[in-house]
């Protein structure tokens, strides 16, 4: 069945004088802007927005939607991204008018229900982290990293310590060094050892009295829990530094171990991953941070406090770093995280991690005889396979396999990350998939491995398009439609 009707660009299907949304007549006796405002303020040119009737607009976007893969239709074994199911109750509750129509600058006493939810969320995230203070303000994980690093910088400044270095393992997400640079730190890369853990010798050689923060993702991006963690955090603390936990992989350890308990002093959550906000084809996220007691004074303002007079936004925080964004935070995602935590409870959250780890290990066990898995046959919630041997023997790349999976209705794994494994294929099945799904997925991967290399180079074969010319896109960028 053809689903291409009205899928030309909006500007191509635009038809002069067609309308969708109509406005009421003006009911106040006031002159128009062209009469009341000086001409110098008024625009001389049309916006050029498309003119579309409602049915064409709907067909356009609904037909476009069918060109997407999505969690509600397909399995996404996308490592590092925690593409779990997005419960539908969250969407209904999140769009209740009593929540979605609350203005961010309303006085506290007119939005006590909202403040109560967010105050509880602050507490839950502190408890899950094993840390003392929480800021819900950061809009996404990367902004959470930046916020925490600014908190650390303010903390050292307050202590009159001049610390300039942030140490980051080579397997870290790219946001870690990018955030450290904006926070004004020099970044020092720490090597991974042959087992995919922090190379202790390299770490020890790079710790000094200028070390401000060590950023670690644990479990790391290879899906491995670094059992040296207590030793590492002790070393950093002895040198007077702080330990930052990139919480991207919290889905592996909910209720099993807590960053605060293994020595992290600050961390961010990706609420949209761990606590399942829909990814929306790239956002919004939400990246709250949790910190140890001595860092609380430096958190962004406001923070919600409970008083005898109800819940209040506390702006009276003289040592605060300030703000990293306008308004309270990405509340819509925080609400969904709250709904999820309330639905699961303490037993449920722990089972989430148990099943996420069980599923990942099961998938690994199904694939380990057919694919190269460089870091052993056990993992946490994700693992990294490599196509390096396939590439050598059959000229089949991780990209080829990923693209061919699309034909079978599976999203590709995360490919070419982490950078420390060549031809990496990082797989994270999450806990919301069944054994049957994992069985079929593994069988498909094994089947693809034995397909003709040339056929794989040209995959996918059944989608609308195949292998876009990315070099051309970057060489002569076309970033907008023009007449």
Partner 1 sequence: MSYLLNTPDDKVDMLKKIGATSIDDLFSNIPDSVRMKRLLDIPKSLTEIELTRHIDLLANANLSAERSVCYLGGGSYDHFIPAVVDTVSSRSEFYTAYTPYQAEASQGSLQAFFEFQTMISQLTAMDISNSSLYEAGSSLAEAILMAMAITGRSGTVLVAETVHPEYRLSFTTYLANLEPKVVTVACPGGKMCLNDLASKLDDSVCCVIVQHPNFFGNLEEVEEISKLVHAKGALFVVAYDPISLGILKKPGEYDADIAIAEGQCLGNPMIYGGPYLGLLSCKEAFVRKIPGRLVGQTVDRNGKRCWVLTLQTREQHIRREKATSNICTNQGLFALRAAVYLAAVGPKGLTETAELCFRKAHYLMDLLCKIPGVKPKFNLPFFKEFTIELPCNAQLIIDSLVDDGILAGLSQARWNPNLVNVMTIAVTEKRTRSELDNYAAAFGAAVNSFIAHDKSKAFKS
Which 365-404 positions form the footprint of partner 1 (CB under 8 A)?
365-366, 377-378, 402-403
- Among positions 41-70, residues that touch partner 1 (CB under 8 A) are 41-52, 54, 57-58, 60-62, 64-70
- Among positions 183-222, residues that touch partner 1 (CB under 8 A) are 183-185, 187
Only one of the segments 83-91, 235-243, 288-296, 420-428 lies at the binding site for partner 1 (rule: CB under 8 A); that segment is: 83-91
Residue with tokens 């530094």: 241
- Report helix, strand or coil for 300: coil
Q: Is 174 in the site for partner 1 (CB under 8 A)?
A: yes
The least CB distance from residue 20 to partner 1, in Å, is 4
| DSSP H or E segment with residue 14 | none
Residue 58 vs 204, nearer CB to partner 1: 58
Only one of the segments 237-245, 352-360, 390-398, 446-454 lies at the binding site for partner 1 (rule: CB under 8 A); that segment is: 352-360
Residue with tokens 């941070």: 289
3-state SS string over 147-172? HHHHHHHHHHHHCCCCCCEEEEECCC
Q: Is 297 in the site for partner 1 (CB under 8 A)?
A: no
Residue 238 vs 393, nearer CB to partner 1: 238
Q: Is 433 in the site for partner 1 (CB under 8 A)?
A: yes
> Contact at 8 Å (CB) between 365 and 356?
no
CA–CA gap between residue 260 and residue 155 (Å, rounded): 18
Residue with tokens 């993992």: 379
Q: Is 146 in the site for partner 1 (CB under 8 A)?
A: yes
Q: Dihedral through CA 247, CA 68, CA 447, CA 79, nearest 10?
A: -10
Q: Is 21 in the site for partner 1 (CB under 8 A)?
A: yes
Taking Cα atoms as reference points, which of 251, 216, 252 lies closest to residue 235?
216
Only one of the segments 199-207, 315-323, 382-390, 446-454 lies at the binding site for partner 1 (rule: CB under 8 A); that segment is: 315-323
Q: Is 359 in the site for partner 1 (CB under 8 A)?
A: yes
| DSSP H or E segment with residue 289 | strand 289-291
CA–CA gap between residue 215 and residue 397 (Å, rounded): 31
Q: Is 262 in the site for partner 1 (CB under 8 A)?
A: yes
Among 321, 384, 396, 420, binds partner 1 (CB under 8 A): 321
The least CB distance from residue 170 to partner 1, in Å, is 10
Residue 81 vs 235, nearer CB to partner 1: 81
Q: What is the token pair recorded at 244?
A: 């930052």
């Amino acid at each position: 069945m053809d689903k291409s009707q009205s899928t030309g660009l909006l500007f191509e299907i635009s038809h002069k004088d067609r309308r969708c949304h109509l406005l009421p007549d003006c009911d106040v006796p006031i002159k128009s802007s062209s009469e009341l405002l000086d001409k110098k303020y008024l625009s001389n040119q049309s916006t050029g927005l498309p003119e579309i009737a409602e049915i064409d607009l709907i067909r356009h976007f609904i037909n476009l939607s069918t060109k997407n893969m999505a969690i509600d239709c397909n399995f996404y074994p996308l490592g590092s991204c925690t593409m779990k199911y997005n419960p539908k109750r969250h969407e209904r509750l999140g769009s209740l008018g009593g929540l979605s129509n609350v203005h961010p600058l309303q006085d506290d006493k007119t939005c006590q229900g909202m403040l109560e939810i967010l105050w509880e969320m602050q507490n839950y995230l502190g408890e899950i982290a094993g840390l003392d203070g929480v800021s819900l303000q950061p809009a996404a994980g990367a902004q959470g990293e930046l916020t925490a690093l600014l908190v650390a910088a303010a903390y050292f400044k307050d202590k009159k310590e001049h610390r300039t270095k942030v140490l980051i393992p080579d397997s870290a997400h790219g946001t870690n060094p990018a955030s450290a640079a904006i926070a004004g730190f020099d970044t020092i890369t720490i090597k991974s050892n042959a087992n995919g853990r922090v190379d202790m010798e390299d770490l020890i050689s790079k710790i000094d009295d200028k070390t401000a923060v060590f950023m670690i993702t644990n479990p790391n991006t290879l899906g491995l829990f670094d059992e040296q963690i207590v030793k590492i955090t002790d070393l950093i603390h002895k040198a007077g530094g702080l330990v930052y936990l990139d919480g991207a992989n919290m889905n592996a350890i909910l209720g099993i171990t807590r960053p605060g308990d293994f020595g992290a002093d600050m961390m961010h959550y990706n609420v949209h991953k761990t606590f399942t906000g829909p990814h929306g084809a790239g956002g919004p996220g939400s990246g709250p941070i949790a910190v140890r007691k001595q860092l609380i004074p430096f958190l962004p303002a406001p923070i919600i406090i409970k008083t005898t007079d109800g819940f209040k936004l506390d702006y009276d925080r003289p040592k605060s770093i300030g703000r990293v964004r306008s308004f309270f935070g990405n509340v819509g995602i925080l609400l969904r995280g709250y709904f999820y935590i309330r639905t699961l409870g303490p037993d449920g959250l722990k089972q989430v991690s148990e099943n996420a780890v069980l599923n990942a290990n099961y998938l690994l066990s199904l694939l380990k005889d057919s694919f190269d898995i460089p870091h052993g046959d056990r993992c946490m919630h994700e693992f990294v396979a490599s196509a390096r041997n396939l590439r050598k023997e059959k000229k089949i790349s991780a990209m080829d396999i990923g693209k061919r999976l699309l034909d079978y209705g599976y999203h590709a794994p995360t490919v070419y990350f982490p950078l420390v494994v060549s031809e990496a294929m990082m797989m994270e099945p999450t806990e919301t998939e069944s054994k049957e799904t994992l069985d079929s997925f593994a069988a498909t991967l094994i089947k693809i491995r034995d397909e003709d290399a040339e056929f794989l180079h040209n995959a996918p074969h059944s989608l609308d398009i195949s292998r876009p010319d990315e070099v051309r896109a970057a060489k002569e960028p076309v970033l907008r439609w023009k007449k």
